[in-house]
């Protein structure tokens, strides 16, 4: 909150969402609002990150919107630089900044920033999202035109709301501007729940779910990106099955992935971006995971699928 109140860009509406906190955060929000007249506080029952963001977005009045998670913080010039970048040209739908992972709350937020910028087309954004770069799937390292996201709401998956929202934003975007400077500080604790194995399994489960939902809602205009979705979808399903294999989630993982594969199968096999060997390997690993693992065991692990080495 301190780094937000110290922004060099002053014309802010600061919406604080107290999502049923039990640790005194609600009181901190109220005290902050008493000191900064730009702040508005929402106190609500706990419903999760997605609904909390939606509540803030719903009452926002600005022409732009930006999300900052409660335990993160931003450079003092972040909003001003993003605002200036997005207003260079009317074609930009959002501005994106780099971020820095930190385990400290005292990073220098007033340091001089050396700016380098790049334009990103929708194709660039899709390739970046599915290409493994961690810059494209967070919600919080971007300044969006309110007009772009006015009808877009976070869906309340247990995990992965960020990635789902960011992906749907990309599919609405024609052009974005990227500031290549770490203006957002992503705070992580060493004992965070995100490092727990169960959290990873749930994350993969939700990742598969939102990819499935997005595949089935692709517009005709966005269907040119279907192969990116399918490739990632099969990769995530296989990772979900692998992670859950020795856990209580195993049977649910098998059932869910087989159900997904049955529905998506025809889309995947009609896609000419994938070869026959790859299609066969991925389908077998999702549809018949017990058979594949048994075959590998019989051959003492020597059985391998050539194309799987890419994943």
C-alpha pair distances (Å), 120 with each of 94, 116, 123, 175, 224:
10, 13, 8, 6, 17
Region 196-219: mean pLDDT is: 91
Categorize the per-residue pLDDT at 297 as very low, low, confident or very high, splitting at 50, 70 and 90: confident
Per-residue pLDDT, averaged over 214-234, amounts to 97
Q: What is the mean pLDDT of the chain?
A: 92
* pLDDT greater than 50 at residue 82: yes
Cβ neighbors of 266 (< 8 A, separation 6 or more) are none
DSSP per-residue letters across 267-298: HHHH-TTS-HHHHHHHHHHHH-HHHHHHHHHH
Inter-axis angle of helices 226-244 and 276-287, nearest 10? 40
Whole-number Å distance between alpha carbons of 17 and 36: 15
Contact at 8 Å (CB) between 234 and 284?
no
SS3 call for 199: helix
Euclidean distance between CA atoms 167 and 172, whole angstroms: 9
Q: Please report which confidence band the pLDDT of residue 23 belongs to, taking 50, 70 and 90 as the band edges.
A: very high
Q: What pLDDT score does 216 carry?
A: 95
Instruction: Report the percentage of the chain scoring pLDDT > 90.
Output: 85
Model pLDDT for residues 91-144, shown as the tens digit of each residue? 999 999 999 999 998 899 999 988 899 999 999 999 999 998 999 999 999 999
Q: What is the largest CA-CA distance in the chain?
A: 69
* pLDDT tier for residue 308 given thresholds of 50, 70 and 90: very low
pLDDT digits (tens, 9 = 90+) for 150-203: 999 999 899 999 999 999 999 999 999 999 999 999 999 766 555 556 788 999
Q: Is the pLDDT of residue 289 over 80?
A: yes
Of the candidate ranges 7-11, 48-52, 99-103, 184-188, the one whose mean pLDDT is the lowest: 48-52
pLDDT at 192: 56
**Whole-angstrom distance, CA of residue 77 vs CA of residue 86:** 14
As a whole number of angstroms, the distance between CA 173 and CA 30 comes to: 36
Cβ pair 267, 226 in contact under 8 A: yes
CB contact burial 259-295 (16+ within 10 A = b; e otherwise)? ebbeebeebbeeeeebeeebbebbeebbeebeebeee
Please state, in angstroms and rounded to a whole number, the distance separating the CA atoms of residues 19 and 51. Answer: 9
Q: Is 117 helix (H, G, I), strand (E, B) or coil?
A: strand
């Amino acid at each position: 909150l301190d780094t937000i109140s110290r922004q060099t860009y002053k014309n802010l509406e600061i919406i604080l969402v107290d999502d049923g906190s039990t640790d005194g955060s609600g009181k901190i929000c109220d005290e902050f609002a008493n000191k900064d007249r730009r702040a508005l506080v929402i106190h609500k029952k706990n419903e999760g990150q997605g609904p909390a963001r939606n509540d803030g977005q719903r009452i926002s009045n600005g022409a732009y919107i930006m999300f900052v998670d409660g335990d993160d913080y931003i450079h003092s010039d972040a909003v001003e630089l993003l605002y200036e970048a997005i207003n260079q040209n009317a074609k930009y739908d959002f501005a994106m900044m780099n971020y820095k992972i930190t385990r400290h709350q005292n990073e220098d937020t007033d340091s001089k920033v050396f700016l380098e910028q790049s334009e990103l087309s929708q194709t660039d954004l899709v390739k970046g999202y599915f290409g493994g770069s961690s810059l494209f799937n967070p919600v919080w390292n971007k300044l969006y035109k309110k007009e772009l996201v006015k009808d877009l709401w976070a869906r309340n998956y247990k995990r992965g709301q960020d990635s789902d929202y960011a992906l749907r934003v990309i599919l609405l975007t024609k052009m974005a501007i990227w500031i290549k400077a770490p203006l957002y500080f992503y705070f992580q604790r060493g004992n965070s729940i995100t490092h727990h194995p169960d959290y990873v399994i749930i994350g993969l489960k939700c990742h598969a779910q939102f990819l499935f939902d997005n595949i089935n809602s692709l517009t005709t205009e966005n269907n040119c990106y279907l192969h990116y979705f399918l490739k990632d979808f099969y990769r995530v399903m296989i990772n979900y099955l692998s992670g859950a294999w020795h856990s209580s989630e195993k049977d649910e993982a098998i059932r869910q992935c087989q159900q997904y594969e049955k529905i998506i199968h025809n889309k995947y096999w009609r896609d000419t971006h994938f070869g026959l060997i790859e299609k066969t390997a991925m389908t077998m690993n999702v549809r018949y995971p017990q058979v594949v693992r048994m075959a590998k065991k019989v051959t003492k692990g020597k059985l391998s699928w050539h194309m799987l080495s890419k994943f």
